[in-house]
Structure 1
Amino acid sequence: MTSTSIEWTEVTWNPVTGCDRISAGCDNCYALKMARRLKAMGAAKYQKDGDPRTSGPGFGVAVHEDAMTEPLRWRSARLVFVNSMSDIAHARVPRWAQASIWAVMALTPRHQYQILTKRSKRLATLLTDPAFYAEITDAIHKILDQFDGRLPVEDVDAAMRWADPRQRLRGEIPAPLPNVWIGTSIESDDYCWRADELRRTPAAIRFLSCEPLLGPLPSLDLADIDWVIVGGESGHRFRPLDLDWVRDLRDRCVQRRVSLFFKQVGGVRPKAGGRLLDGRTWDEMPSR
């Protein structure tokens, strides 16, 4: 568990680190820059380098088995951003690791988990595959063997009810885990299709991260979306935010009763432009 300055969560959990840039929203990736610094500091998780064309020093995709079960040891409830330093749906994150992450989330219903991906198509394909739930069940049993009776009985019971194999025998998949939020990033109108993939993904809460917002989103459909995060870019190469783009999203969120979190206007520093939109802040969170 790592404390974080990200305003819309409480802690981060990184059983996987590393990624590759795939769209314009990745151009000034904060995680890539942070990984470079952490590698230079000797941090064990960040010693694998990525492809210099799309990634960088310390940002090669790596699975950290020693971090996989961390949330099982956190007794108090947390709001947890999963893989803040990676993308769970990256092609080089193996299915066994994804199944293990889902198993840990199933075994810890006291926590609320937030998953954010730019690879919404792969995640939708994974979470609509009945075979994946068999892999999650296997991962649950492996964790139970590893902890040998040291987990709360009520948590184990909740996980096993959710992973009941009789649902798969009917050719169905289990209902979404009630403590898992799934979101996708949309930085410009070219990527509004990611929301369509999110809509076909089983999720208790679906959300969009329009950060950094690089243009208006006239094609964005907010149907079946519970929460929208909006923010401008920060850093020395930041691309300015037009508040009219945010106003349009705000008005549509209000009309559809979608929770809105306006994180920042952006600038050279994250707080340079403040957080006000027409004289007020927007700190709405979805019901949970």
Structure 2
Amino acid sequence: MAINSKIEWTESTWNPVTGCTKISAGCKHCYAETLTNRFESIWGAFSEVKLHPNRLELPIKKKTPTLYFVNSMSDIFHKDIPDDFILKIFKVMNNSPRHTFQVLTKRPERLKELNKKINWTSNIWMGVTIENKLAYKRLLPLIQSDAKTKFLSIEPLLESVSDINLDGIDWVILGGESGPNARPMKEEWAIEIRKLCSLKKIPFFFKQWGGVRKKNTGRLLRGKEYNQMPKTYKSSEFRQNVA
């Protein structure tokens, strides 16, 4: 389904696939798993990757230009998703130029395999998650891809990544972990990335401090809210609200 989202850097989520499996430290307290577990009797186990062909056409049916986070409840490049279904998802994006699609993965090796089969229209943003230094290996497949807009979701930030190479990156999202068992994010780690983005003139979006009660910790980084978006993004009311 496509639903309005509370995720600060998007407008709506579109989930033609649900379910995933953990592969790195950032997955430890997965919000999608937590949500699925609440409805396991209806949705099934989170570890069971499910395809939803009936949801493929939802963006095509929506006329209002929308910023979509694709597969917020899964990973589009999970090994259990067939190539042809992944390419169908991208074809829907190609055929919906009024919308902008944010695709985020922790599995860029599959991105590398399928890169030449994907039609990278300009309304598709491709990103990888970076939660610690071990995740730096995800950078190169992203940079080498033919995506027109490339971004990083540095969330949950679990350690300093001040030496990260941001060459070729068009947007950086940064945030701490939230929920009952949230691991802390130090202010200095966030400041390091904000300064690096400023130096390289990369739009910077500070999503949250996180913690057990993320509403209490808020989104201010040294008294300022950072809502910058990729320079290519021109769309609608959301753009006006976060500029």
TM-score (norm 2): 0.92
Corresponding residue pairs, total: 231
Q: In structure 1, what is the Cα distance between the partners aligned to 2:112 and 2:3?
A: 28
Query: How does 1:269-284 map onto structure 2 within 5 Å?
Result: 269-284=213-228
- Alignment RMSD, CA only? 1.2
Query: How does 1:1-288 map onto structure 2 within 5 Å?
Result: 1-40=2-41, 42=42, 46-47=43-44, 57-128=45-116, 132-133=117-118, 176-287=120-231, 288=233
Kindly indicate whether the alpha-carbon contact (under 8 Å) linking 1:17 and 1:59 is maintained by their aligned counterparts in 2: no
Q: Which amino acid aligns with 1:235?
A: G
Q: In structure 2, what is the Cα distance between the partners aligned to 1:92 and 1:236?
A: 30
Q: In structure 2, what is the Cα distance between the partners aligned to 1:60 and 1:198?
A: 26
Q: In structure 2, what is the Cα distance between the partners aligned to 1:19 and 1:95?
A: 16
Structure 1 pair 219/190, CA: closer, same or farther in 2 (3 Å)? Answer: farther
Q: Which amino acid aligns with 2:178?
A: S
SS in 1 for 2:204: strand
Q: Which amino acid aligns with 1:64?
A: H
Q: In structure 2, what is the Cα distance between the partners aligned to 1:219 and 1:89?
A: 27
Kindly indicate whether the alpha-carbon contact (under 8 Å) linking 1:264 and 1:274 is maintained by their aligned counterparts in 2: yes
Kindly indicate whether the alpha-carbon contact (under 8 Å) linking 1:213 and 1:241 is maintained by their aligned counterparts in 2: yes
Q: Which amino acid aligns with 1:32?
A: E
Q: Which amino acid aligns with 2:4?
A: S
SS in 1 for 2:216: coil
Q: Larger radius of gyration, structure 1 or 2?
A: 1
Kindly indicate whether the alpha-carbon contact (under 8 Å) linking 2:20 and 2:46 is maintained by their aligned counterparts in 1: no
Give the equivalent residue in structure 1 for 2:241. none
Q: In structure 1, what is the Cα distance between the partners aligned to 2:87 and 2:97?
A: 16
Structure 2, unpaired ranges of 5+: 234-243
Q: CA shift at 1:272, angstroms?
A: 2.7
Kindly indicate whether the alpha-carbon contact (under 8 Å) linking 1:262 and 1:283 is maintained by their aligned counterparts in 2: yes
Q: CA shift at 1:191, angstroms?
A: 0.9
SS in 2 for 1:230: strand
SS in 1 for 2:112: helix
SS in 2 for 1:192: helix
SS in 2 for 1:254: helix
Q: In structure 2, what is the Cα distance between the partners aligned to 1:4 and 1:93?
A: 24
SS in 2 for 1:240: coil
Q: Which amino acid aligns with 1:94?
A: P
Q: Which amino acid aligns with 2:7?
A: I
Kindly indicate whether the alpha-carbon contact (under 8 Å) linking 2:129 and 2:155 is maintained by their aligned counterparts in 1: yes
Q: CA shift at 1:59, angstroms?
A: 3.9
SS in 2 for 1:208: strand
Kindly indicate whether the alpha-carbon contact (under 8 Å) linking 2:162 and 2:193 is maintained by their aligned counterparts in 1: no
Percent of aligned positions that are identical: 42
Q: CA shift at 1:124, angstroms?
A: 2.0
Runs of 4+ in 1 over 3 A off after TM superposition: none
Structure 1, unpaired ranges of 5+: 48-56, 134-173
